[in-house]
Chain A
Amino acid sequence: MRRLVAIVMGILREIADENAYARHLAAHSRPHSAEEWRRFSEERLRAKFARAKCC
């Protein structure tokens, strides 16, 4: 059950880009801050919304 919850939360966090943000912080060895989130999300969203969304 705990594993199922972990997977569901993992899916939700992946869709919400929260996992990607955590990876971004880890990759650049930076702490979370409002400025860092804005920098990450702008780059992430630019790439995300350049791709076609499915029908």
Chain B
Amino acid sequence: MKVLGYVFWAAVAATAAVCLGGIAILHGEHINSMWLVLAAACTYAIGYRFYAAFISARVMALNDKRATPAERLRNGHDFEPTNKWIVFGHHFAAIAGPGPLVGPVLAAQFGYLPGTLWIIIGAVLGGAVQDFVVLFASMRRDGKSLGQMAREEIGKVGGFIALVTVLIIMVILLAVVGLVVVNALKGSPWGTFTIAATMPIALFMGLYLRYMRPGKVLECSAIGFVLVIASIFGGRAVGESAAWAPVFTLGAMALAIAVIVYGYLASVLPVWLFLAPRDYLSTFVKLGVVLMLGVGILFARPELQLPAFTRFVDGTGPIFAGKIFPFCFITIACGAISGFHSLISSGTTPKMIAKETHAWPVGYGSMLLESFVAIMAMIAACVLQPGVYFAVNSPAGVVGATPAAAVATISSWGFPVTTADMATLAQNVGEQTLFYRTGGAPSLALGMAHIFAKSGGGAAVIGFWYHFAIMFEALFILTIIAAGTRVGRFMIEDLIGRAAGSEKKSGWTGVLVTSAAIVAAWGYFLIQGVRDPLGGINSLWPLFGIANQLLAGIALCVATTIILKMHGARYMWITCVPLVWLVTVTFTAAWQKIFSPLPSLGFLAQADKLAQGPQTPAVETLIFNARLDAVVCGILMVLVAIVLADSLRVWVGILRGTREAEIREAPFVLSRLQAEEL
């Protein structure tokens, strides 16, 4: 039996090596997406079975005889021992956001290879390790949050900086995902109607759950899903109606204002009325679509049309400027390593873990699944013809303000495309145009529609699938905007409360004012993105990536400190290697975004170039925005440098023996939980 095990894992390792080698070597020809699927699945299996097992046994010494906080502090609310696969599903649903879908689509401008390798290797050696170690640390500390652990393990500064960094990330995140939705819906009456219809549907669901069938969330979500699908068909009728199509054909600025108003209302309305039903519905739709996409790829096994590398590895990409190093690793955050996951791993999840060994599939395994979602998004982007991919994702400021100019520019890059191709494609999916749809969502929707249509229905249903994909992306992005605005409001209240030395809850005026403050903050960046002649994504997505990766840096500092206190320097490399990589990548990217002399890349160079031209109020605003982005980037670098310096001070003290390596774990209590209770 043992020999069979060796043979099996040797075969898995060989398959991983062959597939990784295959996608790296087979340049110059179209490869099938199954190479990527197999390379990822086999590498994940090896990482899960051996690397995660090593961390579990040697570093964490997971012990099922030790009672978890879910058992010791069981209260029927947050702390509750739960079946490990249910916690796995719950945790995955919590960590899966738009990041692993949008990031790989944007990074495909380098070709499929760099992003794919980073997604696979980054997740196995970095992202999954971060999530796993933070979950373990929180589980051993009564479910404490990352901020609390940073404060206790490193110092007060670390905890405060974690809070401020999260607030800045929230602002940039909400702006950038808002921009993704705006660019997906501009000039699209079908899409705009479908998304507008989700608002009354959510209100109906809220009232249904509150007064008609209290507690029947699954039933209510099923009704909501049927109504949303009906709204996609309604959207098609609206798009074809001479009377209604103009009403729902909105420009980018009008949509941006609508998103800002939506965010504000969602933040101040009672949570049960609007946000909660949307959240339930979008989570179920998200899980369903991820599953559908996986099945669709396995069924259709599409060929990748984008090459392994494009000419834009030199940093002259139209979607965002910058070379593979460091920008590929910034653009793809959530599919490889995401600081935000550390907040989830130290949030609800550690309070539900019944046995310590369950942290292995939940912490490490969930991240591998998230990484696989990113691989699927990469495949969806790469099944598009390269010319179409660049025509959809490139801003007018780069490729030319008319379709004829855009196709001429893109064809001159070696990616042939014609206006007739684009017009036919737009007509097939029920859109007026697909040019300049920056942000990643429309090209992802096109790729998904292509895969779904190939799996069944063909060209006749591609319009439905395109709008289904747009609905799915916009539905859960708008839910993130609503929830994020609310969380940002609480953070501002918390910071004000700390500054005033008061824990008093805000009244209605406070709610309205703090909601306005957070909406104004992300709304400003959203409007900035809409006005940006380079499309906004060029500046905002790297800022978001840098912020998110810097938060991962803070999480890895906490994780390294805890491992150092447990074992000395012996196993520090497990979290130190990804930490050093992340710090190198993020600081290089941040430095280039601020100080690069290229106006397409550096914020200050961009401001200087604009300052040399004719000055109008619009240009002055662009100059201010570029300098503001540079300042935000600089603040993030300084904040994380402080946490790093603080951590290094603690590590050196422990290694020299001048500082006590106090392990702040909860004391050992023998578990009495029986397996059948789960």
* Residues of B with C-beta under 8 A to A16: 217-218, 221, 280
Question: Are B173 and A55 in touch, CB under 8 angstroms?
Answer: yes
User: A38-B210, A42-B272, A49-B486 known; A55 and B548 CB under 8 Å?
Assistant: yes
Is B128 among interface residues, defined by CB-CB distance under 8 A?
no
* Residues of A with C-beta under 8 A to B344: 54
The 9 A-B pairs at the shortest CB distance, nearest first, are namely A27-B76, A11-B89, A16-B217, A37-B214, A34-B214, A37-B215, A10-B86, A55-B99, A55-B97
* Residues of A with C-beta under 8 A to B88: 11
- A8 nearest in chain B by CB position: B89
Is B483 among interface residues, defined by CB-CB distance under 8 A?
yes
Question: Are A15 and B272 in touch, CB under 8 angstroms?
Answer: no
Complex Cα gap A28–B218 (Å): 23
* Residues of A with C-beta under 8 A to B99: 54-55
Question: Are B215 and A11 in touch, CB under 8 angstroms?
Answer: no
Question: Are B334 and A53 in touch, CB under 8 angstroms?
Answer: no
Is B607 among interface residues, defined by CB-CB distance under 8 A?
no
Instruction: Tell me the residues in window 442-468 of chain B with beta carbons closer than 8 Å to chain A beta carbons.
Output: none
Candidates A15, A17, A20, A34; contact of B284 at CB < 8 Å: A15
- B271 nearest in chain A by CB position: A45
Chain A count of residues within 8 A CB distance of the other chain: 37
* Residues of A with C-beta under 8 A to B218: 12-13, 16, 18
Question: Are A7 and B490 in touch, CB under 8 angstroms?
Answer: no
Is B561 among interface residues, defined by CB-CB distance under 8 A?
no
* Residues of A with C-beta under 8 A to B348: 51
Contact with B along A17-55 (1 / 0, CB 8 A): 111110110111000111001100110111111111111
Question: Are B97 and A54 in touch, CB under 8 angstroms?
Answer: yes
Complex Cα gap A38–B334 (Å): 35
Residues on A lying within 8 angstroms of B by beta carbon are 7, 10-21, 23-24, 26-28, 32-34, 37-38, 41-42, 44-55
- B267 nearest in chain A by CB position: A49
Chain B count of residues within 8 A CB distance of the other chain: 60
Instruction: Tell me the residues in window 105-136 of chain B with beta carbons closer than 8 Å to chain A beta carbons.
Output: none
Q: B282 → chain A, closest Cβ, in Å?
A: 10
Q: B318 → chain A, closest Cβ, in Å?
A: 24
Complex Cα gap A41–B496 (Å): 28
Candidates A15, A28, A55; contact of B98 at CB < 8 Å: A55
Q: B351 → chain A, closest Cβ, in Å?
A: 11
Is B166 among interface residues, defined by CB-CB distance under 8 A?
yes
* Other 18 A-B pairs with CB < 8 A, given A24-B77, A46-B271: A10-B83, A11-B88, A15-B89, A16-B280, A17-B280, A27-B75, A32-B215, A38-B210, A44-B77, A45-B272, A51-B347, A52-B487, A53-B94, A53-B487, A54-B95, A54-B97, A54-B344, A55-B340
* Residues of A with C-beta under 8 A to B77: 20, 23-24, 27, 44
- A13 nearest in chain B by CB position: B218
* Residues of B with C-beta under 8 A to A37: 214-215
Complex Cα gap A12–B217 (Å): 10
Question: Are B283 and A15 in touch, CB under 8 angstroms?
Answer: yes
Candidates A15, A34, A44; contact of B93 at CB < 8 Å: A15
User: A10-B83, A15-B89, A41-B276 known; A54 and B487 CB under 8 Å?
Assistant: no
Q: B545 → chain A, closest Cβ, in Å?
A: 10
Question: Are B96 and A38 in touch, CB under 8 angstroms?
Answer: no
* Residues of A with C-beta under 8 A to B338: 54-55
Question: Are B83 and A52 in touch, CB under 8 angstroms?
Answer: no
